[in-house]
Each structure stands twice: as structure tokens, then as C-alpha cells.
Structure 1
Amino acid sequence: MVRIRKFSNGDERACRRVIESNCEAVAQQCGKAVADDLMECNSLRRLREKSRESFFVVAADGPRVIGMSRLEPNGVVGNVYVLHSKQRRGIGSAIIHRPENEAKQQGLNAIGAGVLSNAQNFYEKHGFRKSGKNVVRAGNKTIAIAKMTKCIAREGVQKTATAFFKSHDRRIRALVDLPKERKCFPVLVLCHGFLGHPKQKLLAIVAKRFCQAGFAVIRFFFTNANAEKPGKNVPPVHWHEQELRDALAFARNLQGADAKRVFLAGHSYGANVCLLVARDDPHIKALVLFAPGRELKEYAHLFENGVMKLFGKALVVTNRARRDWLEADLDYAVHKSRRKTFVVAANPDDFVPLPSLQKRFAGFETRVLKGTDHFFNGSEEKAAAEALLFLEKKVCAKKSK
């Protein structure tokens, strides 16, 4: 049974063997000179020094050390290695969590790491996001090392509160997460897909990560188009446009909110509604579209015999709703939003094939997450990290200029 324990005197030789087992992969990616430097920087003497200077843990299978990781005093995670023959068994996930837990106990709000390209997916899987890069020279080669960070603030998110705002003479229920810092905070309004739910995993993780980063996040229920209360009829699109406009007004009036930094994000159908609203609202500084749905008029084939069949539901299609869906001018909305929109796409996506999405959003800043589906199952953290990085780097930085 593998257990994680603190580094003990005498572990340095076993740790050096763990590092040595990874040198072949390092040499293939970066060259033999880099692999040699890696071994030199982790001599027996240096490993003993690191154990005194930092929080150093090892993974042990009985008496045998098969993995290691460290947390430096400045919050940087390093020396995350697993014996080559023991990789892809969950040991790496176990040993990277211990430095993170230690950082939380020390009261740190974030941790960092310097990562070679072949390890970036591993770190992204565990909630790290790329925040920059360093370039180093090793012999004749130039090596790019990604700077990655992860927010670990435990007090960044309050318990989600329920609130209500008014739209077309109805009370619309919303979920509101407020950041720890209650003064001049940015706000993200987050829309679910057709027959989706504000609490679905993707939206919940996006809300959590953005709130930890200092945003307030508002998620609300589209009338007659949410999984909790789907309704009997297909609602006209302009209903949801108006609800989103009223949600934006609610966001801008939140106590402590910076009304000039209110952003939109939506998944699938919700992304299309975001585009339609942003088209006419110059005050929306940026949008994030998660697996945006097809042009609404492309759903005409679902309106057979006055009934829309979707996700196991059969909804009545009124003439008004049909006209609304078929006439929504998303082409113009896409054109108007090009400079301020970030698209997070899934591949494979059975609902919106990647080639058609790339054609529709040609020229947009886009990130394709491979190996996940339309709902980003298993990649929710990665999708949230990409969206947060876009808004922080492209938009929020403008506040300091």
C-alpha cells in the first residue's frame, strides 16, 4: 500500500533514483544536457539541503520510495516525480496534493510551479493554469518552461446565496457567490444551456474558481428552459435575452460591484443568448462561450409537427417561438463580438462538431479541450481555468492602467 510521508534521513538515494528514472523522458524532450543538469541539481547533498529548506514528502510502497514532491517557502511546488515504472497509477495526484494542503495550512492564497510542456496536462488536471513562461538555455537549446499557478484560498467563496430579480413581471431565481473582498469587485453573469441547470458541474466549478479569484458570480434560471422546471412550451429566445439583460442590471447594482467590469459567460444555448445580448450592449467588456450552440435556425429540424424533442423532453413549439428561433441574427452578433470573445470548445462534441464551430468562430481566440464532451465532463477545472486566465489577462488588467 502506498502512503505519503515526510522525507526522512536516508531517503535521498531513493529520491535520486526516482528522478533518474525520469531523465530519459526529459532528455527526449529537452536534450541530454538538461537531463544532466537535472541530476546535478539533485545531488545527494542538495536533496538533503532541500529537505531542510522546504516541505518535502515522499510516496512509499512499503520500504521503497517511488515518488516525491516539495513545497518551497515561496509557495512553489517542485520535484514532483514518480518512478517511471509506477506512473499512471494515481501516485502523482496523491503527492501533489500534500504540498497544496501544506500551503493552505501556511495561509497561502496560491501556489505555483515551473513545468515542461510534457507535464502541463497533469498540472491543468489538478487545477493549475498557465500564467506565463520562462525561457532558459541548456547547451545549444532554448527550453520553454511554463509558469503555472493555482488559487487555493479557502475563504474566497461564501456559501452560495439565493436571490431574486424581476424580469417581464416575474421573479427570476438566481444563485449568487460573493468574493471575500467586498469592494469594487468584477462580476460574471453565467448562463446555463437549454434544459440545463445553474448547478451543473461545469457552471458550479466556474463559479467557484472565479469567486476565489475575486469575482462575484451570478447564475440564474432561464424561464421554462431549465432542468428543474422545463415548462411545456419552447420559450421564445427574446424572453431569455430580456432575462439576461435584467440579470446584468441586477449585477451592476450589487453592493460593492464595479459596474464597469461586468462580464458574460454561457454554455451551449446560453452562450448564444450571451452573444445576442452583447451585440447591443457596449458596456459588456468580454464574453466567454463554453461549447457555444449552433445557429438557432439550424435547430429547425427539431420543430417537427410543432414539437421539439431534445434531451428526452417533448416541448410544444408555438408559431411565435418558431419565428423567434429562426430569425435570431446570430451571424451579426458573432461579427460584433469578435474582439472581446473567448471560445472554449470541446472535442469530440456530438452536439456541435468542432469543424463547424471553428468555421463559425474563425478569427476568435479559441481553446480546444481534447478528450472531453459538450458538457466538459472530466475537464471542468481546465475549462474554468482557461476562462479565468482570459478575463484576468485580457480584461481585468486594464483596471490598473
Structure 2
Amino acid sequence: MERSITIVYQSLELVASVHYPCEEKRKQKEKCWPVIIICHGFVGNRIGVNRLFVKAARRLAAEGYFVLRFDYAGCGESNGEYGSYGIDSFIEQTRYVLDYVLSIDCIDKTRVFLLGHSLGGAIARLTAERDTRVNALILWAPVAHPFADITRIIGNDAYEEAMRNGETEYSGYRLKKEFFISLAEAQPLASGAGFLDDALILHGTRDEVIPVDACYLYEGVLRQQITGECRAITLEGADHTFSTISASELLFAHTCSWLQQLETRKKNWSDWII
């Protein structure tokens, strides 16, 4: 089952879609569901290129997860002006979404995952650094250097225009000077507190938007900070949005397999303690 909801963030409304878990898929029905929140990338939306996030959410719900995908302010159906906000605002919006899902009685607060793609991966990482309620990360082709990566995408001329005139236009979005300043201050690869249990990083070898090297950079940092497992996997031939059927299916398969191994490991550990 799926439905649309609205989450209030300050004076804005963030539009989201929730996917309820398919309980028949789980061997044992649980009173509480693990939750996955999907964070889209730069000037993206909760649908994704080639419906990537729709397909991912349905696949994950079929595996027994409560999934929420949402539009950041100024994107998709959410109101606001995307380029007027900085990274701190995107982190705060993500935390408002966390507030919403964790207010639901049937959510397992010990199994809270953030799944971020591209710039959404960097935002998920930075959110987890600040919010101990996040237990694990799933990063798909994450941005490693927000300022360098995004300015490369839009072009140096557009960036210089924003610095000179206060804003620039990219793909129909107004990007303010303050947006770029916040990107320069964001450091998702900086060392920090080890609040996370586990992390998975997946990246295509033919990603021409964010180099596959970002996968290994994240792996190196997260291995030092998490208490559980950090796994990095490269998908041969996949591009930045995993746009082919074979790439997206492989992406989902690796993600679901990792989640299943995680649950099995934690169940075995729990049984051993008992």
C-alpha cells in the first residue's frame, strides 16, 4: 500500500510518499517495522530518473521495510525555492522527516536507514553525523565534495554569475549565492563521531557525474567511524542514475542482499546474547 502525505517544515510543506511493508514477504510478522528514508539528489525529486526511487521503494517495501521518499523544499511537489536553501536546511528537512517516521508507533527505532543518492548521499551522511537516531546508511553514487562536484555540474560560468549577481539559473532553478557558500562549508568526508552501526556504498564504474573514486573515499572514512560493517561495491557499466534496467536491478539486488545479511547478523547476535 502506498499513499501521499505532507510534512510541515517551518512555513513549508514537504510532499512525501510512504510505502507500507509487505508483511507476507517476512517469515515472521513483526510488531515494529524497519524504516528507510530516501533522500534525492541535486535538483531532483522523490520519483527519480527513470522512476528509480519509485521502483526502489516498492522493492524495499516488498522486502518488509516501511519506506518514505520525499521532495526537498523547492523540488518536485514541495513548495519553496530550492536554490534559496543551504545544506544545513536540507539536513534539517531530513530530520523533520525523521521526526515524522519515528512518531509512528509501529516503526522500529533501532532500524532506521537513510538512503541517499548523489547530493542526497552527502546530505544523508551529514544528517547521520548530527542525528543519533540514524542507525545505518545506504549511499548510491554519493557526492564526496559538494562544492567542487556541484559547481563542476553547473559550470564555472554559472557559479561566477551567482557570486557576482547573487544568483544564477540552472535547469530552471534559481541558485542563490548562499547555496554555493553552504556547499563549500559542507564536508561529508570529514572525520566525526562514530554513531552509525553499518554503511553500504554503491557506485557505477561509468558514472560521469560523480567519479567512482567517491565510493572508495567514503569507504575509507566510514570504516573508521562505524561500529559495524562498511561495504563498498562498484557496479560495472552503471552510470550515475543507474539508468539501464540491468544496472537498477543489480543496484536493488545488492541493496536488498546487504539488508538481509544485516538483519540475519543482528538476529544471530541477539540469539547469542539470549
Scaled by the length of structure 1, the TM-score of the pair is: 0.55
Deviation at 1:335, TM superposition (A): 7.7
Once residues 82 and 15 of structure 2 are traced to their aligned partners in structure 1, the CA distance between those partners, rounded to angstroms, is 19
Q: 2:9 aligns with which of 151, 167, 186?
A: 167
The equivalences for 1:356-371 within 5 A come to 356-362=214-220, 364-371=230-237
- Answer yes or no: is 1:198 the counterpart of 2:56: no
Amino acid corresponding to residue 99 of structure 2 in structure 1: A
More strand by share: 1
Once residues 82 and 93 of structure 2 are traced to their aligned partners in structure 1, the CA distance between those partners, rounded to angstroms, is 19
Deviation at 1:234, TM superposition (A): 4.3
The equivalences for 1:1-400 within 5 A come to 158=1, 160-181=2-23, 183-200=31-48, 201-226=51-76, 231=81, 233-298=83-148, 299-300=150-151, 301=156, 303-306=159-162, 307-308=167-168, 310=170, 312-318=171-177, 320-332=178-190, 336=194, 340-362=198-220, 364-378=230-244, 379-395=247-263, 397-399=265-267
Once residues 289 and 309 of structure 1 are traced to their aligned partners in structure 2, the CA distance between those partners, rounded to angstroms, is 28
Unaligned runs of 5+ in 2: 24-29, 224-229
Once residues 315 and 325 of structure 1 are traced to their aligned partners in structure 2, the CA distance between those partners, rounded to angstroms, is 15
Q: Is the 8 A contact 1:205 1:381 kept in 2?
A: no
Once residues 266 and 58 of structure 2 are traced to their aligned partners in structure 1, the CA distance between those partners, rounded to angstroms, is 23
Q: Is the 8 A contact 2:132 2:195 kept in 1?
A: no
Amino acid corresponding to residue 5 of structure 2 in structure 1: A
Amino acid corresponding to residue 304 of structure 1 in structure 2: E
SS at the partner of 1:361? helix
Once residues 174 and 191 of structure 2 are traced to their aligned partners in structure 1, the CA distance between those partners, rounded to angstroms, is 27
After superposition, the Cα gap between the structure-2 partners of 1:350 and 1:295, relative to the gap in structure 1 and judged at 3 Å, is: same
SS at the partner of 1:394? helix
Q: Is the 8 A contact 1:376 1:383 kept in 2?
A: yes
Q: Which has the higher contact order (CA 8 A, sep 6+)?
A: 2
Once residues 264 and 168 of structure 2 are traced to their aligned partners in structure 1, the CA distance between those partners, rounded to angstroms, is 40
Larger Rg: 1
After superposition, the Cα gap between the structure-2 partners of 1:356 and 1:331, relative to the gap in structure 1 and judged at 3 Å, is: closer
The equivalent residue for 2:26 is none
Deviation at 1:357, TM superposition (A): 3.8
Deviation at 1:230, TM superposition (A): 8.2
After superposition, the Cα gap between the structure-2 partners of 1:216 and 1:224, relative to the gap in structure 1 and judged at 3 Å, is: same
Residue deviations 1:265-284 (CA, integer Å, cap 9, x gap)? 01111111100100122231
Deviation at 1:398, TM superposition (A): 1.6
Q: Is the 8 A contact 2:128 2:196 kept in 1?
A: no
SS at the partner of 1:331? coil
Residue deviations 1:116-168 (CA, integer Å, cap 9, x gap)? xxxxxxxxxxxxxxxxxxxxxxxxxxxxxxxxxxxxxxxxxx1x200122222
Once residues 78 and 14 of structure 2 are traced to their aligned partners in structure 1, the CA distance between those partners, rounded to angstroms, is 13
Once residues 239 and 232 of structure 1 are traced to their aligned partners in structure 2, the CA distance between those partners, rounded to angstroms, is 10
Amino acid corresponding to residue 127 of structure 2 in structure 1: V
Once residues 257 and 118 of structure 2 are traced to their aligned partners in structure 1, the CA distance between those partners, rounded to angstroms, is 20
Q: Is the 8 A contact 1:267 1:290 kept in 2?
A: yes
SS at the partner of 1:197? coil
The equivalent residue for 2:27 is none
Deviation at 1:383, TM superposition (A): 0.7
Residue deviations 1:159-200 (CA, integer Å, cap 9, x gap)? x20012222232211100001337311110111111112122
Amino acid corresponding to residue 290 of structure 1 in structure 2: W
After superposition, the Cα gap between the structure-2 partners of 1:397 and 1:171, relative to the gap in structure 1 and judged at 3 Å, is: farther
After superposition, the Cα gap between the structure-2 partners of 1:397 and 1:360, relative to the gap in structure 1 and judged at 3 Å, is: closer
Once residues 376 and 284 of structure 1 are traced to their aligned partners in structure 2, the CA distance between those partners, rounded to angstroms, is 25
Q: Is the 8 A contact 1:194 1:226 kept in 2?
A: no
Once residues 9 and 191 of structure 2 are traced to their aligned partners in structure 1, the CA distance between those partners, rounded to angstroms, is 23
Scaled by the length of structure 2, the TM-score of the pair is: 0.78
Once residues 133 and 198 of structure 2 are traced to their aligned partners in structure 1, the CA distance between those partners, rounded to angstroms, is 11
Once residues 353 and 255 of structure 1 are traced to their aligned partners in structure 2, the CA distance between those partners, rounded to angstroms, is 40
Number of residue pairs matched by the alignment: 241
Deviation at 1:356, TM superposition (A): 4.5
Deviation at 1:338, TM superposition (A): 7.7
Deviation at 1:394, TM superposition (A): 2.1
Deviation at 1:294, TM superposition (A): 3.3
Amino acid corresponding to residue 185 of structure 2 in structure 1: E
Deviation at 1:325, TM superposition (A): 1.4
Q: Is the 8 A contact 1:163 1:176 kept in 2?
A: yes
Identical pairs, percent = 22
